[in-house]
Chains A and B, each alone.
Chain A
Amino acid sequence: MADATDQGPVTMLATPIRLDFEFTPGVAQSKFLRGLERGEFLGQRCGACGKVYVPSRGTCPTDGVPTTEDVLLGNSGTVTTYCVVNVPFAGQSIEIPYICAQILLDGANLSFMGLIQEIPTQEIRMGMRVEAVWVDESDLIPSLASVKYFRPNGEPDADYDTYKEYL
């Protein structure tokens, strides 16, 4: 007969934790975020290797020197790689299927992630030329949320050699 006090092992214990933090983007990323607020992409060049980072975190991760030269980048870029998202998940705000791509902005040496819209998903391809579509001017904020998405800009596909270093 089982001991009345033996209710078996405890298998779960909830200990809620919440911590609040301030975020400090830093000098360089603040410039990038202020650029978004104006509807433009601002990068920084490394004085040692010449690479342009967007967003810049203030130092060149290759050379370990401060990136001090601000560089205004174009509104267009090239899709270096992509995926088509077909899987629903908690918190998803975009209707599936949609395209998530790495985009190399003209004049930059670092690609970053963006949403591609205004194109059937089966037409996305590496080398596609795209441009940023911004929110209305009155809605611009210091956040990547100011970029609604990227869409094809109508130019012919970029030559593979122009982006093969960034895959």
Chain B
Amino acid sequence: MSAAGRTVRPVSVASFAQSQNVRKDSERNEAESLHPVIAEVFGNIGITKDDVDFICSGSTDYLIGGPFSFVMALDAVGVWPPRAESHVEMDGAWALYEAWVLLQEGEIDAALVYSFGRSSLGDLNEILTLQLDPYYEAPLWPDIVSLSALQARALIDSGKATEADFAAVASRSRRDALSNPKAQVRNDVSPEMLLQDDYVVAPLRRHALPPITDGAAAIVLAAGEKALQWSKRPVWITGFDHRIETHSLGARDLTSSPSTSKAAQMAGVADGNVDIAEIHAPFAHQELIVKAALGLDDSVVINPSGGPLAANPLMSAGLIRIGEAASRIRAGQADRAVAHATSGPCLQQNLVCVLEGE
């Protein structure tokens, strides 16, 4: 009997695709922007929708401002004959977790997971306020940038980091994004130059904020024979866990992430060497908190894709971390990787996925 969070049945990240990440896609609706991604994630491994037993998606109606947008998005897949399908009002990383659990149970052998989100349709700062406690916090409309700035301030005051550390994270992320054609913000600007940015909400300067991004992503998971058929070098999920903390910001130590630490422990991050980590930290200072909570040392390559500071499609940015980590392993650039996803204000909820190459 395996411990919770550890794999019972090996599951492979068989294929990954993501859209071009852009500031605003004003031409296409959700199904139209998602369809090429679905076609690519199947096409990568030469399969069709008939080869997967289950579909799970992650999205939120708050971004589009309309009900049941996840049902409309199914048009991009085609659901005839009728399909086993599920949806989470979460980043696609959590949809992937649901599919992984079903694969663990052995009821299915392959699953399509996708996510989509267009952050450009409304005022993201206002929309994200509605994830707060609806009685005592949300009516004050504390926007997400201000809440993240509270966290950054606490981190500086604790002595764990400086503004220069935030700038170093942002500089490295966008420089690494130069080699990621799907990224949105790609440039080579030194931390010293970035520190000349104005504050958006002190102590966060422009560079410490994620871009506003429209985008979508998809992954095919496979187990058993299909995992071996669909990959020359299967990338196995060897540990997977997610944990949540209280919604009350005042009750949390915002300078640490115990939910990430617990998920990392359950997923077995420390059981082997970690070559790369894809961390879903939308604000620059949050990468430092998550890196510490995961127990990673400076030998680990963080966010070689550029991470969420280079492209932050809401509801997909976490799923993309898993896809990017798996792609590095498949390409032989890493043997063991950690992917992280977050949800809620100030890293409230965290997911950790450990991936290993055959």
Contacts and interface: CB of A to CB of B under 8 A. Distances in A.
B138 A59 contact: no
Contact of A19 (B26, B75, B126, B139): B126
Interface in B58-90: 62, 64-66, 72, 74-80
A25 B72 CA distance: 12
A94 interface: no
Contacts, number: 90
A58 B29 CA distance: 8
Interface stretch (A34-42, A61-69, A107-115): A61-69
Contacts of B23: none
Given A19-B123, A19-B126, 6 more contacts: A19-B122, A24-B27, A27-B27, A58-B75, A64-B77, A64-B79
B232 interface: no
Q: Which of B78, B127, B139 has the most CB of A within 10 A?
A: B78
A53 B78 CA distance: 14
A121 interface: no
A89 interface: no
A65 B62 CA distance: 27
Nearest to A46: B78
Contacts of B35: 58-59, 64, 66
A75 interface: no
A59 B77 CA distance: 9
B242 interface: no
16 contacts: A15-B134, A19-B130, A20-B65, A21-B66, A21-B121, A23-B65, A26-B27, A26-B29, A26-B30, A26-B32, A57-B31, A57-B72, A59-B75, A61-B74, A64-B75, A64-B78
A60 B39 CA distance: 13
Nearest to B63: A21
A21 B29 contact: no
B118 interface: yes
Given A19-B65, A19-B123, A57 B78 contact: no
A15 B31 contact: no
Contacts of B135: 13, 15
Q: Which of B75, B121, B139 has the most CB of A within 10 A?
A: B75
Contacts of A117: none
Contacts of B121: 21-24
Contacts of A59: 31-32, 35, 75-76, 78
A63 B122 contact: no
A24 B75 contact: no
Given A15-B135, A61-B78, A64-B38, A21 B32 contact: no
Contacts of A63: 78, 80
A57 B29 CA distance: 8
Contacts of B72: 57
B26 A24 contact: yes
A68 B90 CA distance: 32
Given A29-B29, A63-B80, A19 B127 contact: yes
Interface in A1-41: 13, 15, 17, 19-29
B214 to A, nearest CB: 10
Interface string B115-158: 00010111100110010001100110000000000000000000
Contacts of A62: 78-80
Contacts of A61: 74-75, 78-80
Contacts of A29: 29
A29 B29 CA distance: 9
A28 B30 CA distance: 12
A65 B39 CA distance: 9
Q: Which of A22, A28, A61, A64 has the most CB of B within 10 A?
A: A64
A24 B28 contact: yes
B91 to A, nearest CB: 20
A59 B76 CA distance: 6
Nearest to A20: B122
A62 B31 CA distance: 13
A64 B49 contact: yes
B1 to A, nearest CB: 40
Contacts of B79: 61-62, 64
Given A19-B65, A19-B123, A25 B49 contact: no
